[in-house]
Amino acid sequence: MLGRMDPNSKEALARRRDAGTLTWRGPALILFARTVFAVPAQAVAAGILALRGSPSPWLDAAPWFPLYASLIDAGCLAVLWRATRREGIRLFDLVGFERHRLARDVLLGLGIIPIGLALIFAGTYGAGWLLFGEPAQPYFNDPLPLAATLYGVVVFPILWGLTEQMTYNGYLLPRFQILSRSTALAVAFVAFVWSAQHAFMPTTLDPGYMAFRLISPLPFSIFQTLLYLRLRRLIPFIVAHALMDGATVVIGSLLPLLRA
């Protein structure tokens, strides 16, 4: 029966916890991994821009986030692979892909998008009122060269949506739930860190901007974690995440190029 059990189910995780193959070490290492990888990834982009003569390479690197974000994903996938291997499961067991559910999961992902957009806009405007006394506009990317924009539209959203959902919903949330024996604590901890990572993507060292980026995604992060624990299927969230991120690049980078 154990061989047929979903490797990422509550029952399987509890068994690995009791056997000692699932400990706090993996989740503790991975909790802030995306935030930690974000700074050196931006530094790589800034270094390239500095070599090309940019007078303010760190700030000028920010619009290139859809490209250097792949460095963040690569680092996270590496540590996730190591952590899942220590548990005796495969990396993509975190996804829980089931072919017969694919059509339903895609439709469910499409259904998540309107709710997600409403929560993102609510968080954005709410954080603006709280911090600046007026509503703030959603953050969009600045225009990039065509090749970089196409990468941001096609590759970035798929890789980013997959890796981020695997990290927070697929890996961290269910393990914190089992290790802490508290669903509320797991949701609060993971949702806050998930939201807080945005303060460093990109990193600007502007306190007001970073506070805004920390607070504004919180409603959507809470929603995602609660819904995932209800569904325990990752594909709908990957679909919704990838499409929303892709639309952000289209609005911020591709449309300005087409209008030029």
What pLDDT, on the 0 to 100 scale, is given for residue 24?
96
Ramachandran class of 53: left when φ > 0, alpha when ψ lies in -120 to 50, beta otherwise:
left
pTM to 2 decimal places? 0.93
Q: How many domains are contained in the chain? A: 1
Please report whether residue 2 resides in a domain.
Answer: no
Residue whose token pair is 């559910």: 101
Local confidence band at 3 (pLDDT 50, 70, 90 cut-offs): very low
- Tell me 1's DSSP state: -
Question: pLDDT tens, 174-199?
Answer: 999 999 999 999 999 999 999 999 99
CB of 197 within 8 A of CB of 34? yes
Please report whether residue 93 resides in a domain.
Answer: no
What lies within 8 Å, CB to CB, of 25 at 6+ separation is none
Please report whether residue 162 resides in a domain.
Answer: yes
Question: pLDDT tens, 80-103?
Answer: 999 999 999 999 999 988 889 999
What pLDDT, on the 0 to 100 scale, is given for residue 258?
82
Please report whether residue 81 resides in a domain.
Answer: yes
- Lowest-pLDDT range of 108-122, 130-144, 192-206: 130-144
Give the rounded percent of residues in the chain with a pLDDT score beyond 70: 96
Local confidence band at 2 (pLDDT 50, 70, 90 cut-offs): very low
Please report whether residue 3 resides in a domain.
Answer: no
What lies within 8 Å, CB to CB, of 33 at 6+ separation is 75, 76, 79, 167
Structural domain of residue 44, as residue ranges? Answer: 10-88+98-259
Give the DSSP letter string of 166-192.
Answer: IIIIIIIHHHHHHHHT-HHHHHHHHHH
Measured CA to CA, the distance from residue 209 to residue 193 in angstroms comes to: 17
Mean pLDDT of the residues in the chain: 93
Please report whether residue 4 resides in a domain.
Answer: no
Average pLDDT over residues 45-55: 96
Give the rounded percent of residues in the chain with a pLDDT score beyond 90: 84
Written as one letter, the residue type at 30 is: I
Residue 4 has pLDDT above 50, yes or no: yes
What lies within 8 Å, CB to CB, of 60 at 6+ separation is 46, 49, 54
Written as one letter, the residue type at 39 is: V
Please report whether residue 214 resides in a domain.
Answer: yes
Measured CA to CA, the distance from residue 124 to residue 217 in angstroms comes to: 7
